[in-house]
Amino acid sequence: MSMTASDFNKILRTYDNKQAKNRQSEKTRQEKVFNEIPKLAELHKRISSISLTSIMSAIEHPDRKDYYEQDLKENLALLKMQKKALLIENGYSENYLDPIYDCFDCNDTGYIANQKCHCLNQAIIDFSYEQSNLKTILDKENFDTFSFNVYSKEKDVKLGISPYDNMRSVHNLCMNFIKTFNTDFKNLILYGHSGLGKTFLCNSIAKELLDSSHTVIYLSAFQLFRLFENYRFHKEEEIVTNDDIENIFICDLLIIDDLGTEFSNAVTKAELFNCLNTRLLNKKSTVVSTNLAPGQWVDQYSERITSRIFGYYTSLKFIGSDIRMNRYN
């Protein structure tokens, strides 16, 4: 769990690799278009040469420095416009030769003005909470691969709605949660029997928020309680640091999957209360999924958690029969 200096260096080395990989892609792109469009290669050379000439002239005639700088600026703007026009003419996007970055916020350095960029914070989170395989899961389970067709269109007589229509409305609420994530503080509790797509939707939400540069910690209830326990007992085989706990309280989104399946007692209940309550106070959103029906929340987690905490959550009910068999068909 806890991160050593060598672990941190390993993460920083992945940034060196990203930079090298992207410089290589830029080079490949450049070679390709320069071969295809010789005029573009000429323009590129002219841009380098006029920059150099202008710098040299300014050094030789310091009294005319401003004039040379202004002249260079105008010439460069003109040449760059011609470059973009040539790219478009030949079927490329105008930005095809621009620098490539995995993260445009820090240009793959991991830092913005000496502060860790969100991408570095997320890399630390992925390492600390062993969620490095999360991205592979999210490539499969996201809003693009989500299918409504696995839900029955037959109306549930008791509920007066079909699982299909119910899912349309659950889906809309989740999309709205994502769209307004930065402006409206909201929390979600997804509940219903297993196999109805709760985890799939949790994954889809995680992906959208990670893609929009938020920090996300995704833990099963079992993992969350084990973290608290290891922290409490200072277990040596799995040291949990203050930072590990702090991140759970302050990350942009915490997802707790499968709440209710963990072993709980008075201590774990108090820890859960503290965790959810601290996040409410910090105005940090949480998404919880559970197989427990609302009537069972009080039995499992006490009045305090149910009314104080879940009162601040939008509850989304999942209905229907197990759709796991149909999902990838």
Which residues contact Zn ion by CB under 5 A?
103, 105-106, 117, 119
Q: Which CB, 117 or 210, lies closer to Zn ion? A: 117
Q: Which CB, 117 or 323, lies closer to Zn ion? A: 117
Is 197 in a helix, a strand, or coil?
Answer: coil
Q: Which CB, 83 or 207, lies closer to Zn ion? A: 207
Q: Give the angle 151-152-157 at the CA atoms, nearest 5°.
A: 130
What's the min distance (Å) between Cβ of 105 and Zn ion? 5
What's the min distance (Å) between Cβ of 253 and Zn ion? 18
What's the min distance (Å) between Cβ of 233 and Zn ion? 35
135 sits in which H/E element = helix 134-140
What's the min distance (Å) between Cβ of 106 and Zn ion? 3
**154 is written with which tokens?**
């037959």
Rounded distance, CA 313 to CA 185, Å?
Answer: 10
Residue tagged 């090298």 (tokens): 20
| Number of neighbours of residue 298 by Cβ within 10 angstroms | 15
Q: Which CB, 108 or 271, lies closer to Zn ion? A: 108
Helix axes 5-36, 118-128, angle to 10 degrees: 130
**67 is written with which tokens?**
């004039």
What's the min distance (Å) between Cβ of 324 and Zn ion? 36
Rounded distance, CA 201 to CA 181, Å?
Answer: 16
Q: Which CB, 105 or 246, lies closer to Zn ion? A: 105
Q: Which CB, 103 or 305, lies closer to Zn ion? A: 103
**Contact status, residue 192 vs residue 319, Cβ threshold 8 Å:** yes
* φ and ψ at residue 275, rounded to 5 degrees: -65, -55
**Contact status, residue 122 vs residue 110, Cβ threshold 8 Å:** no
What's the min distance (Å) between Cβ of 19 and Zn ion? 12
Q: Which CB, 215 or 268, lies closer to Zn ion? A: 215
| Number of neighbours of residue 151 by Cβ within 10 angstroms | 23
Nearest C-alpha neighbor of 257 from the set 329, 206, 300, 314: 206
DSSP code per residue over 26-89: HHHHHHHHHHH-HHHHHHHHHHHHHHHHHHHHHHH-GGGHHHHHHHHHHHHHHHHHHHHHHHHH
Rounded distance, CA 85 to CA 98, Å?
Answer: 14
What's the min distance (Å) between Cβ of 64 and Zn ion? 41
Rounded distance, CA 151 to CA 147, Å?
Answer: 8
Q: Which CB, 39 or 135, lies closer to Zn ion? A: 135
What's the min distance (Å) between Cβ of 23 and Zn ion? 17
Q: Which CB, 104 or 233, lies closer to Zn ion? A: 104
What's the min distance (Å) between Cβ of 132 and Zn ion? 17
